[in-house]
Chains A and B, each alone.
Chain A
């Protein structure tokens, strides 16, 4: 009898351990290079992938060689993995000194938990720095009237890219209206080419379609109301019409076959466009640089076309409105030591968006968020695209930040999950609106 008890206990132990192992295994990704404790040094987490990683490493190297007492240790992570890792690290008090992010709802949760420092006073002391950046870039860095992050890098609107070669072959023009889109879908399907490339497994890629469509149909006010958490704001008829249009496009085979198994992290969606398997792609302007680098001279030979998102007949939105990332952001962890914070602030002031960094971004096909770069853009070999992005960002009456960044993490996760189901047609537009409406205020 004694034996059977022992064996039962060992099985209890096994049973108790196993599910728990999942919880700890999922959480154990948090350990990493924590806050460095040595004085005068700051730590920073940044995204891997080119050209960003090299640009940042060069900027850090230049800064540390000019300021030998201020060391900055950078660790690079993949985009999708970073988004989870940084949240967990902050919750565990293991955040790096410099917290990289996209502002908006996520920054708001950090600010409300006093995890990041208020930089308003520091910007007031350094007016030159504040005036260096596009004024619009501060919107997503501001929580309750206070600035919690330094805008940096580049403005990244969502752009409709197309393959000029395929359009010539089809004798077609890039779409100006939603009706054009639907007729182009037929044209390209008849040609045996997929109309649109989409990395649907990443979900935020599909979200870009909704962001533009909702803006064109209902105007910027619809999402503003959602962002402000107004009751029943997701139940706006424009949301349901947006969902209906998306499902019509999916049903008409508008997206490449198998789009929901393509992940954007692998850049397969871009490859479909530049290898001529798909005619068009709605994506962030950062893909221009990536396609220039990896696209087998597709960009260099002038085969990549780009236009603003088409209008929708009867829609209320201004066709000049843009969506995307107004900038990327860096905050300072409130848990860092004073010496680390000083180093970080010095780096913010002297190390980021230096002339060299600005030139590197422009050369890689991005528009840095600094004022007075028109001359540089005009002399660049990518001036057509750079000016297009610059004008889009500058002239947009409303530049909507990406929804998954603007909303709280809880609402954003529900949004991405429901968008995935909407594209799979496993929920109706009505159900989509209802599901999302339930997340308001969360």
Chain B
């Protein structure tokens, strides 16, 4: 996480001109009112507008079935939107077949050609472009150098490990110098350690080549680690688009708050709204002051609080505080997770330093700053609670 934070200012600077406010027609990739329906009744993607800046690393993040892969497939040309227009470098690509779009793509299961060697795989996009033999050889060699697989050139893909296959797929998608590369959960099949390593490697390649990458994943930590911006998908639409910092610290809905990072969610009713803040009466007793994110007075709401924003004190504290009992300690090396049971029997997770001495059964007070608590309307629900936005056509 610390590496991520260190990189943030630089990333913020590069993406500065490419915010959501980018005027239509100026983006590198534009989705304008794009819709996709497979059966004519329900929509895989609904009325989507999205702009990707040149050189940006944009991640489409969402649970399965949220429309992110459909979006990627429409951009790649494997699916045609049922409505709306996609433009690439200012040119509409709706009528362009995938083989004329010049977009590199990395697939979830690599999709390496099993009957070709690694070199032949990487050389394939060049040979279909009628590049000369000598030229192919040198470009394949440098692409394989880039992913450090030069010595495996004459092997078959099946003779390589999962991580090596993924790097071959990467080299193959980059060797013909596409200006846009799409990646569809490329690391999904790898184990955790390798996945984290490959995240850094892909990020390095992105920085080195300056290529635009649109990346699909359902893994929120992957999205936070790699992206300049993340588009969070749910039910066929983008629910929030922003930098990883934005999404983590300022989620605009209960769904984003619970999907990205870890959150404690408390249910309650909005007692009164005053400016940016509101007072919430919790269902199990107690009251909290929270940032009001689109909540109305008297309406049921969800209050989301990050575990690292909560503090535990042995004595009663004023303001935003709830009495609780320590109900479990989970040791994680660099930090401790304490489970704090409230009077309502609800359990909050609190992240504290490993030096904390609080013991099970101890009576404590859980407190946090009001601007670390975010109150969302309850009807916007979390995850599956949102009704399908399917429309009839």
Q: Do A and B bind each other?
A: no
* Contacts from B to A (Cβ < 8 Å): none
* Contacts from A to B (Cβ < 8 Å): none
